[in-house]
Every structure is written in structure tokens, then in C-alpha cells.
Amino acid sequence: MVRQGQTPFGTVGLDDLDRRIVGHLRDNARRSYADIARAVGVSEPTIRNRVDRMIRTGAILPKTRVNPEALGFPVDAMIGIRVDRGRMPEVGARLAGMEHVAYVAYTTGTFDILIEAYFQDKEGLYDFLNGPLASVEGINYTETWHILRTEKYNTEWEGENVGLRPLAPLPDR
């Protein structure tokens, strides 16, 4: 299975039809292929084949994103972590296995790892920082940012359109 951050066959090229399909799926991932086909003016099998190809090549990832706040986890924190030399894979795997941690990335610069975690309240964040996170061997420094509001999620990023001309409107039928 292809995961975010990797492509199995190198860069995937998308044409205007692919870009339109992705736009419709981003707005509503449960939208039917027949509905998308009507909207973009091609057959339903064409949409199915295009979506299957984009999934197979890793251009799009069929995932469900839960809403942490709706599930009772309104406290969002980003935590920058410095790790002892040579311990990043071990520390990253341990962090990825923690129930409150939603995102783990290896980085360059001031921090070696960046994580995002969700909590029921500020006390939960406090307990996490001083309990599970503090117990991970190989971490030598952390810096925490309590996220006040998120303006845009990575699922809203229109990467298929970066550096390209905007899609022309489809003609009325």
C-alpha cells in the first residue's frame, strides 16, 4: 500500500481531467462516479479507471480523516523534538505508536521530529508531556505549541494545481 510521502513509481502526472476529478473528490470523497462523470462530461467507467489509476500510483490516498474536536479532543498540540544521534527511527516508531499522536515526521533544522497530538483538555496535554513523552529514551529536548485554530488542513491542499494554470470552466450543457 502506498502511504503519504512516497510514490511507488516516481512522479505521477495528472492531466486536466484528473485534476477536475480530484477537486470533486476533495469536496466530497463519497460523491458517486456517476455524479462526477456528469459534472466533468465523461463516462462513469472513465472516472472509475482514472480514480483507480490515481490510487494505484499514489497520486491520491483513499483515507478517512476523523474530526478530533467532534470526538472530544479539542486540544491540538504540535511538538518539536530533538533526538540523540542515531535514535530517530527508534524514537519515531515509539511516538507513532502513542494513542494521542496523529502525525510524526522526521525533519531538518532545529528539530529532528515533529509530532501533532490531540487531547481532551489542557490537563491531558500536560500529562502527556510529563508522562508518555518524557519516558521516551533518546529524546533530549522538546518544544510544544498549543494550536489555537487551524485555518487549513493538509487534506485541503490543492497540490494537483500547484504551478499550473487554473482549470477553465466547463461549457454549459
pLDDT for the residue numbered 156 = 73
SS3 142: strand
Asked, for residue 69, whether it belongs to a domain, the answer is: no
**CATH code, 49:** 1.10.10.10
**Could you tell me if 91 and 97 are in contact, meaning their C-beta atoms sit under 8 angstroms apart?**
no
Asked, for residue 164, whether it belongs to a domain, the answer is: no
Q: 81 and 53 in one domain? A: no
List pLDDT tens digits, range 10-59. 677 899 999 999 999 988 899 999 999 999 999 999 999 999 999 988 88
Task: Give the range of the structural domain holding residue 81, as residue numbers without chain letter.
Answer: 75-147
Q: 99 and 49 in one domain? A: no
User: String of b and e for 155-173 (b: at least 16 CB within 10 Å)?
Assistant: eeeeebeeeeeeeeeeeee
d(CA 107, CA 79): 12
List pLDDT tens digits, range 102-148. 999 999 999 999 999 999 999 999 999 999 999 999 999 999 999 99
Q: 108 and 57 in one domain? A: no
Asked, for residue 24, whether it belongs to a domain, the answer is: yes
